[in-house]
């Protein structure tokens, strides 16, 4: 039995180290009784036991004796721990592949494959009303959001994607090219909700609404240019207006729209709805209702459209 346990444990460790691969091979032979056919070859179990005890004896005879007398039991415990940890590692690898983080979608816990946490970094929303409880991933929902209040395109598509982000947020800016690629390459309904994380960028929401209302087609191009602009420029309303002008918008009308009561009411309504989503950082991308917080690798967004991979 020991050989069998050792075979599995060393086979797993063998993935990472050559010396363990050799031991796995020996354990394999031991399992299939090949070892006993060779006269001068000793039993694998004895060999492993001697190696371990030989090391332990130098530290503490008592510990060595303890291990020696419970070797099989300890081997089993070690075996179970190895299996459990392997399942965890496998899950981590799967999670990283599918979610971009070893600890699951949107987790900010440490992940060896993404040690700096780039895939989960967000710009935290400081304009959000204080709440007693820190927000969590499970609170994120689009339940209270009426997408028709926000710029939306391709409304016939089955798959629905909602990006909550802001022009001045570092991580939305980082994620934007990939998200753009994602919504272009896939047949999805795409909604953009501008959610300013800092009050300095709050004024931009009204421009989004007004630009969208004035010309739905030109809006998306202007939107791309906004994300491509420098942060310094985006702090200046004149810059934003000039960009609208360049796109062929009637800037005078836009200005009037931005200052209108109706727009203010709309913006407040939008912010209310966005607060209701529970979003705590940008970018947050909802793919068919499932939230992806932070700039994820492209494959993760793609997997988002294949629900069977998500569990």
Partner 1 sequence: MDLQHIRQDFPLLRDNKIVYFDSACQSLRSQSVIDKIVEYYTDYPACGGRSMHKLAARVTEEVDAARATIAKFLNAKKKEEIIFTRNTTEGINLIANSLGFKSGDIVVTSDKEHNSNLIPWQVLAEKLGIKHLIVKSLPDNTFDLAAFETLLKKNKVKLVSIVQTSNLDGVTNPIEQIINVAHQHQALVSIDAAQSAPHEKIDVQKLDADFVVFSGHKMLGPSGTGILYGKQKLLDNLQPFLVGGDTVASSTYTEHEFLPVPEKFEAGLQDYAGIIGLAEAVRYLQKVGLEKIAQQEEELNEYLTTELLKLPKVKILGPEDAKQRGGIVSFYVEKVDVHQIALMLSEQGIMVRSGQHCVHSWFNAHQLKGSVRVSFYFYNTKEEVDRFVRELKKIMNVLL
Query: Which residues of this protein are in contact with partner 1, per CB under 8 A?
Result: 39-40, 42-43, 46-47, 49-51, 53-55, 57-58, 61, 64-65, 68
Q: How far is the CB of 16 from partner 1 (least distance, A)?
A: 24
Cβ 57 to partner 1 shortest distance, Å = 6
Long-range Cβ contacts of 182-188 (<8 Å, 24+ apart): 182/298, 182/301, 182/302, 186/159, 186/302, 186/305, 187/154, 187/157, 187/158, 187/159, 188/154, 188/157, 188/159, 188/160, 188/161, 188/287, 188/305
Distance, CA of 139 to CA of 226 (rounded, Å)? 30
In this complex, which beta carbon is closest to partner 1, that of residue 39 or of residue 130? 39
Q: Which is nearer to partner 1, 61 or 144 (CB)?
A: 61
State in angstroms the smallest separation of the CB of 287 from partner 1: 57
| Nearest to partner 1 of 70, 231 (CB atom) | 70
Nearer to partner 1, 65 or 253 (CB): 65
* Of residues 56 and 251, the one with the C-beta less far from partner 1: 56
Closest approach of partner 1 to the CB of residue 51, in Å? 7
User: What is the C-alpha separation between 307 and 141, in angstroms, rounded?
Assistant: 17
Q: How far is the CB of 46 from partner 1 (least distance, A)?
A: 5
Q: How far is the CB of 103 from partner 1 (least distance, A)?
A: 40
Closest CA to 291 of 95, 148, 175, 138: 138
Residue for token pair 């002008």? 245
Written as six digits, the tokens of 84 are 């459990």
What six digits make up the tokens of 70? Answer: 């419970």
- The DSSP 8-state label assigned to residue 43 in this structure reads P
Alpha helices in 157-260 (DSSP H): 170-185, 204-214, 216-228, 231-234, 237-246, 251-259
Cβ closest to partner 1, residue 53 vs residue 178: 53
CA–CA separation, 169 vs 179, rounded Å? 15
């Amino acid at each position: 039995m020991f050989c069998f346990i050792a075979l599995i444990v060393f086979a797993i460790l063998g993935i990472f180290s050559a010396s363990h691969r050799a031991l796995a091979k020996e354990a394999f032979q031991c399992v299939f009784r090949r070892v006993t056919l060779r006269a001068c070859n000793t039993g694998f179990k004895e060999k492993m036991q001697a190696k371990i005890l030989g090391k332990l004896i130098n530290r503490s005879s008592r510990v060595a004796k303890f291990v020696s007398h419970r070797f099989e039991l300890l081997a089993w415990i070690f075996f179970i721990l190895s299996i459990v940890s392997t399942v965890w590692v496998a899950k981590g690898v799967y999670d990283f592949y599918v979610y971009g983080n070893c600890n699951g979608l949107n987790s900010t816990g440490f992940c060896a494959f993404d040690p700096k946490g780039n895939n989960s970094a967000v710009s935290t929303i400081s304009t959000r009303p204080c709440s007693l409880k820190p927000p969590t991933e499970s609170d994120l929902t689009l339940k209270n959001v009426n997408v028709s209040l926000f710029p939306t395109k391709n409304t016939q598509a089955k798959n629905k994607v909602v990006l909550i982000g802001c022009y001045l947020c570092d991580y939305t800016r980082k994620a934007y090219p990939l998200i753009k690629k994602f919504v272009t390459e896939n047949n999805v309904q795409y909604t953009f909700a501008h959610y300013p994380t800092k009050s300095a960028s709050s004024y931009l929401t009204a421009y989004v609404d007004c630009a969208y209302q004035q010309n739905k087609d030109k809006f998306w191009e202007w939107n791309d240019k906004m994300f491509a602009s420098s942060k310094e420029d985006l702090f200046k309303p004149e810059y934003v207006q000039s960009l609208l002008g360049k796109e062929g918008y009637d800037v005078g009308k836009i200005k009037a729209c931005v200052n209108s009561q109706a727009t203010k009411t709309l913006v407040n309504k939008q912010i209310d709805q966005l607060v209701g989503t529970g979003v705590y950082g940008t970018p947050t991308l909802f793919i068919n209702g499932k939230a992806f917080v932070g700039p994820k690798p492209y494959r993760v967004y793609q997997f988002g459209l294949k629900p069977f991979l998500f569990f």
